[in-house]
Every structure is written in structure tokens, then in C-alpha cells.
Amino acid sequence: MQNNTSKMVALLGKIRKQMNGAVLDTFRYYGAKYGMNYGVAIHSLRDMAREVGTDEELSQFLLCQQVRELQIIALWIADSRAVTTESLDGWRSKIINSEIAEQAAQALFSRIDVIDALLDSWCNADNELLAYAALLAASRNDRASIEAVSRAVQNTVTRFADNHLAAQGISRLLGAKIAQNRAMVVEVISALPANKTAESVREEIAWQLEC
């Protein structure tokens, strides 16, 4: 039976075969840079993760590596059942840039049961990447309650008064909830304070409400 190190070596072999230097020059993200980045496309990394399957132990091992591709694969093979209210603090240090925030939201946090706790905790933190990840996750997670969504939006727009990522995350969340609860979205928008983040959200959601 392979141990985590041998599994990682096997994944690195596949990753190196798909290394794309041209793609490296197009990367744009906010936050810390990776220690190593091979420029492999996300869909290829998802295919690799699918071959591995759910493996929480390997996931945690790969997350500790300073390699973009391994960290992203780790998010796709993580077990959503292992994410609890108590474990959320341990995830904070893993969200190092906007790409990881986006992948964590889609691959893992969109499936967790404790999405309300994630929203309450991370949208109250003084870290735009955590708020961004939580908002994106809630946009895909049907377990997010109306109350938690409303609190998260208000907390984020207040803490980050002029922030592109905050505006983008809020817009994605509210846009996704229009079909489910249009009245809630209208109420949340009307209660937003007067700042640049709120203004960006209003402009983005206004046309969606008209559709």
C-alpha cells in the first residue's frame, strides 16, 4: 500500500508532464505566491483528483506542500465530513491567495454542513481571502441559511469598505440566491451601507434583479 509520500511523488510525475510555462505568465491572484507553480490547468488537476478519490489523510499532507498543483488537488480530495465548526480555524492558514480561496469554495466548502458557521466566522475575520472563500462557498451551498447569508454580507461590506474581492464574493452569493429568495436579496441590498464595496454590489445585482 502506498504511503502519502509515494502518492505525492506519483502525482508530481503527472503534474510535471503537463507543465505549462506559457500559462504561468497569465496567473493573476491576490495574496501569497506559491513556492512552486507548474501552470497545470484546473480541469487537469480535477481529473487527477478524481483518480485519487476522497482521501482526507493525503489531502492534509498535500496541503502542507508548497506546490500549487498539490494544494489544489488536496482540496478536491478532501472529505467534506471532516470539516466541522471546531476545524475551521485550522483551515484559515491554508487560504493563501484568491485562487486557493476559489478552489476551496468550489471543491470543498460548497459541500460542508457547517456553512453557516463558516460564514459567521470568516466574514467576521479581518482577512479578505477568508471572507471571499466563505461567500463563494455559500453561493454553491444550499445549506446556507437566510440569516447567515444576511449577516455575512453585512459583516463583509462593513469590514471591507473598498475591496474588489469582497464585492465580487458578495455579488456571487446574492446573485445565486435570487432564484431561491428574491425578497431576501432585495432586503439585503437595501440595507447595505454607503461605501464603494456596497456600490459595486448594487450595480452588479441590479441588472440581475431585473431579469
Whether the per-residue pLDDT at 109 is higher than 60: the answer is yes
Q: Tell me the Cα Rg of the chain.
A: 18
Distance, CA of 22 to CA of 11 (rounded, Å): 21
CATH 1.25.10.90 residue ranges for the chain: 98-211
Contact 65, 8 (CB under 8 A): yes
> Above pLDDT 70, what percent of the chain?
97
Q: How confident is residue 108, by pLDDT bands cut at 50, 70 and 90? A: very high
For 135, the 3-state DSSP assignment is: helix
**Span 98-211: which CATH code?**
1.25.10.90
Total residues found in the chain within this entry: 211
59-68 tens-digit pLDDT:
999 999 999 9
Q: Position 80: which residue type?
A: S
Q: Say yes or no to pLDDT of 24 above 70.
A: no
**Within 10 Å of residue 164's Cβ, how many Cβ atoms?**
15
Band of residue 210 on the pLDDT scale cut at 50, 70, 90: confident
Residue 211 has pLDDT above 80, yes or no: no
Q: What pLDDT, on the 0 to 100 scale, is given for residue 6? A: 96
Average pLDDT estimate for 148-174? 97
Identity of the amino acid at 127: N
* Residue 138 confidence (pLDDT) above 60: yes
CA 53/CA 190 separation, integer angstroms: 44
Cβ proximity of 170 and 157 under 8 Å: yes
